[in-house]
Each structure stands twice: as structure tokens, then as C-alpha cells.
């Protein structure tokens, strides 16, 4: 293996202003071809290390050109695929060697090169970061999008759930790891060390997945509050001055934030497995906890609501619930004090229930709702002004949702939603929809 971590090594090189000769694309092309042509593991790894180092040293434009070179010059060969396909058809039934040769022909050499980075010191993290770069550069380029999909599939195998470690993170964790929680928190920003300490107190839990090749880098983490009863507003969960609850008195675990830490793992779907494993862990450790719910944002509701009010094409019952004509209600929402009028509440909650259960192409349109429903949760409750902050009002006019995870029905509900589009919901939400 490379004797020093690739990223650290080239961080030093870049600070010195050094540039390796591999920035010459002709030389890099030759290096890629040479690395792909090697057979011994040691020499293949050495070639991959040189290319990886050149990649880290490059800027965004250089990296874009590198990716373009891979898809233009180191992709599958149609003639070779056609030949192996014909050979597979002509082979005797059950000839696995012919099938294997066809699979090899269908595997782009570029993916073989990139996947070999994972054998280098620091290479798994580099590969994850490389895909994050690719995601940012692939927009509007179908060839790079295809490279991204191939790389996503490779990472999905590399980060299979069976290879990951679930860890509880406490205040006693190394400072470097705690700093990463602050950096990666994507739902409710952690404002200070005191805020973080509150979120790791004895009536709280924080769990994360780790990969053995990235032992100090959380992949995804979830924050949980142990409460007496289902939390229906955000402020009490984040209030540093709120009294600490004796964990033995808690009957509910509230999942109030889940953050993906590695943009390069987008689409690898680690969050759903994290919630299932954490529920199992809590059931084993806290047998007095009976309810597993979320307190979740509804990120697309306000934009959807304003479109519905703008068009004015509402179901009759929703139009009757509005305290004024749709256009006037839309104008009222632009006023900072719109929520002082309680008459608007029934209509907005009803509209929100319809939004959370509206489907397009077999899935509900709200991304957070889709995430939890696909994981086997049900829509439990809508909470008026649960997040009255500026961000909460901008996302969802302050409404937040509880999704319930019933441990004995998670698999059943997930299958019903993914296979048949069935949205599990409580009677209270069903009543909002039915009137």
C-alpha cells in the first residue's frame, strides 16, 4: 500500500504549489492504459496510486476532463461485447465461463481502475470523495451520469450493510469525531459545544454507521430524544435549558435528525438500514420504550401549497375550509404574522395531509415522507407550528410530521408501500383527508 494517505500526501504537495507530470493528459492517458494492462497486484496498485495522486492534485476542470477521458476512451468495446454475446449464445447450456467472459466484456475498464483505488491507503475515502466530485460535474452529461451510476453500484457493494459497524456516539468520543457531528449535521444545525453536549446527554442517543476502512468518518448518523409521550414541537427537543428526563421514565424514542455525512454515498441508501438497526438496538437496551417516532420536517410543502393556492384548483372541501379565496390566502402567507389567524389552521393541515400522501410515479412527492414510508413507517400526526423558525416557515409554514415505526410492522409496511404504493397512516391523518 501507499506509505502515506493519498489525500494528506497531496495536500502537502498542493500547498507547496507542486504539479506532477501526470497533469499532462497524454501522459495520464498512458498511465491509465498502463495500469489497466498490468496483471500483478503490486504493480496494478502502484499504477492506481499514481493516478489517484494526480487526481487529488487536479482542480475541478482537470477532474472533469479526467472523467471525460474515462468514458470516451476506457469504456466498454461494442465489438468485444457483441463477440462475447454471440459466443455465449453459441455455448452449451450452463457454460458459466462464457457467461463470465460476457460479464467481463460488459464491465467498463474505467470502473475497474476506479474501484482499484479502494485498495490504497485512504483509498476508500478517496473513492467516496471522487464520486461526490463526479456528482457535481455530471449534470447535463449523460455519459458522466452513466459513469456515476456504475460507480454508485460499486460503492453500494463496498458499503454493504453487513460490512458496516453501528456505534453509539457519546460525549466521551474523541473531539475530532464530535467536531464532525457539528460539521455534518444537516437538519438542525448544532450551534455550539453546549448544544452538542445537550444532544448527547443521558436522555439522548446518537448512533452512526462506520466503515472499517473509514473508522473515524461517520457515514450517516441519527439523533434521538427519549421522551415521555410523543414530541409534537421542535423547541423542547433542542432547548439546552430543558430539564433532563430520567431515561428510565421514557416511553418514546423520537428520531429528530438524520444526516448523511458523505455526499459521495448519495443513493447508497444507508439511512433506512440505520433506522431499522437503531430501533432493534433500542428495543434491546430500553425495554420500557414502546413508541418509535420521528419529528420530521416537510421540506417541499410550502412551495407545493403556494402552487395549489395560485392555481386555485382545490377540492371542494379544502376550498370550504379556507378562510378566504385562495389568492387572498396566498397573499396572507407573505405577511410575517399570518399565523395569528387561527382560522387558517384547519385548511393548511388538511392540505398538508394531501401533500404528504400525494403520489407521483409510485412514490409520495415529499422526499422525507418517501424516505420514512419506504422504510416501513406510517404517517402518524401533523403538528401545527412545530417549527416556527424562519427555516421551518419557509419549508412548511411551520408544520412538522410524526412518522411512527411499529417494529412488528416495519417490513410489512415497507413492502406495501414500495410494491403497491400503499401509504400507511393513522386514523387522525385519514380523518384530515376524509373530512
The set of catalytic residues is 296, 372
Under DSSP, the state recorded for 17 is T
Does the CA dihedral 45-47-50-51 come out positive or negative?
Answer: negative
C-alpha cell recorded at residue 147? 459513469
- DSSP percent split of the chain into helix, strand, coil, nearest 5: 55, 10, 30
**Is 205 within 8 Å of 253 (Cβ atoms)?**
yes
C-alpha cell recorded at residue 172? 466521551
C-alpha cell recorded at residue 376? 416501513
Alpha-carbon separation of residue 409 from 74, 99, 277, 278 (angstroms): 47, 40, 14, 15
How far apart CA 398 and CA 115 sit, in angstroms, is 44
How far apart CA 389 and CA 433 sit, in angstroms, is 27
- Cβ contacts of 337 within 8 Å, gap of 6 or more: none
Q: Which residue is it, cell 404528504?
A: 356
DSSP string, 90-131: HSPTT-HHHHHHHHHHHS-HHHHHHHGGGGSTTHHHHHHHHH
Helix axes 123-137, 6-15, angle to 10 degrees: 60
**Is 162 within 8 Å of 91 (Cβ atoms)?**
no
**Is 13 within 8 Å of 4 (Cβ atoms)?**
no
Provide the 10 A C-beta neighbour count for residue 216: 10
Q: Which residue is it, cell 423520537?
A: 254
Amino acid at each position: 500500500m501507499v506509505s502515506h494517505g493519498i489525500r494528506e500526501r497531496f495536500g502537502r504537495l498542493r500547498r507547496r504549489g507542486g504539479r506532477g507530470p501526470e497533469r499532462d493528459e497524454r501522459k495520464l492517458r498512458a498511465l491509465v492504459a498502463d495500469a489497466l494492462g498490468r496483471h500483478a497486484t503490486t504493480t496494478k496498485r502502484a499504477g492506481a496510486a499514481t493516478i489517484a495522486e494526480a487526481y487529488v492534485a487536479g482542480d475541478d476542470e482537470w477532474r472533469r476532463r479526467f472523467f471525460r477521458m474515462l468514458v470516451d476512451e476506457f469504456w466498454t468495446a461494442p465489438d468485444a461485447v457483441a463477440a462475447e454475446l454471440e459466443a455465449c449464445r453459441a455455448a452449451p447450456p450452463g457454460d458459466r465461463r462464457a457467461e463470465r467472459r460476457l460479464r467481463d466484456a460488459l464491465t467498463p475498464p474505467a470502473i475497474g481502475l476506479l474501484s482499484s483505488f479502494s485498495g490504497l491507503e485512504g483509498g476508500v475515502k478517496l473513492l467516496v470523495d471522487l464520486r461526490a466530485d463526479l456528482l457535481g460535474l455530471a449534470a447535463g452529461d449523460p455519459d458522466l451520469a452513466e459513469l456515476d451510476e456504475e460507480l454508485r453500484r460499486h460503492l453500494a457493494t463496498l458499503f454493504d450493510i453487513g460490512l458496516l459497524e453501528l456505534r453509539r456516539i457519546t460525549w466521551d468520543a474523541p473531539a475530532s469525531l464530535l467536531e464532525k457531528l457539528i460539521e455534518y449535521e444537516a437538519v438542525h444545525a448544532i450551534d455550539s459545544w453546549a448544544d452538542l453536549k445537550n444532544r448527547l446527554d443521558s436522555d439522548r442517543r446518537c448512533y452512526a454507521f462506520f466503515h472499517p476502512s473509514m473508522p473515524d468518518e461517520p457515514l450517516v448518523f441519527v439523533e434521538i430524544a427519549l421522551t415521555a409521550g410523543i414530541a409534537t414541537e421542535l423547541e423542547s427537543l433542542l432547548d439546552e435549558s430543558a430539564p433532563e428526563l430520567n431515561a428510565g421514565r421514557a416511553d418514546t424514542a423520537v428520531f429528530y435528525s438524520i444526516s448523511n455525512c458523505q455526499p459521495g454515498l448519495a443513493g447508497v441508501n444507508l439511512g433506512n438500514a440505520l433506522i431499522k438497526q437503531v430501533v432493534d438496538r433500542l428495543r434491546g437496551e430500553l425495554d420500557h420504550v414502546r413508541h418509535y417516532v420521528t419529528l420530521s420536517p416537510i421540506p417541499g410543502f410550502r412551495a407545493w401549497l403556494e402552487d395549489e393556492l395560485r392555481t386555485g384548483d382545490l377540492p371542494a372541501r379544502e376550498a370550504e375550509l379556507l378562510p378566504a379565496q385562495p389568492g387572498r390566502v396566498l397573499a396572507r402567507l407573505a405577511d410575517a404574522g399570518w399565523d395569528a389567524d387561527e382560522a387558517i389552521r384547519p385548511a393548511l393541515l388538511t392540505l398538508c395531509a394531501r401533500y404528504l400522501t400525494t403520489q407521483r410515479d409510485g412514490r409520495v412527492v415529499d422526499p422525507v415522507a418517501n424516505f420514512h414510508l419506504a422504510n416501513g413507517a406510517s404517517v402518524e400526526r401533523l403538528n401545527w407550528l412545530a417549527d416556527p423558525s424562519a427555516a421551518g416557515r419557509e419549508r412548511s409554514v411551520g408544520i412538522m410530521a410524526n412518522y411512527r415505526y411499529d417494529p412488528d410492522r416495519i417490513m410489512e409496511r415497507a413492502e406495501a408501500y414500495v410494491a403497491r404504493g400503499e401509504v400507511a397512516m393513522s386514523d387522525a391523518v385519514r380523518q384530515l383527508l376524509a373530512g
